Amino acid sequence: MKALLVIAAIIDVALAVLLVAVSGFLFGGGPQSVNAGPGVALLYGGAVVACLAAPVAGFMLNRRGKGPLGVVVSFLPPAGFAIALTLPPSY
């Protein structure tokens, strides 16, 4: 169970790093920027926080004896982003 939690934590942190790395393309002022609004910035920040909080919650649930639920919680952000990638673009 702990190995799955460690793998989920690595994936979640990598996803958070990826989100922070590409945030300039959404919120920057350059020519390739999307110039997203404040609502998108709040959602984006929430996604980064969720990526960092999910493994912590998973380890806490594992310590309290709810290991399988902790693994599910830890894998929620990558699963959510995988589902979001399958959605068609909004334009």
**What confidence tens digit (pLDDT) does each residue in 13-71 have?**
999 999 999 887 777 777 767 777 788 889 889 999 999 999 999 999 999 999 999 99
Q: What is the pTM of this model?
A: 0.84
- Residue 48 located in a structural domain: yes
- Residue 9 located in a structural domain: yes
Structural domain boundaries enclosing 12: 2-86
- Residue 91 located in a structural domain: no
Task: Work out how many domains the chain is built from and give that number.
Answer: 1
Q: What does the chain look like in DSSP terms, one character per residue?
A: -HHHHHHHHHHHHHHHHHHHHTHHHHH--STT-----HHHHHHHHHHHHHHHHHHHHHHHHHHTT-HHHHHHHHTHHHHHHHHHHHSPP--
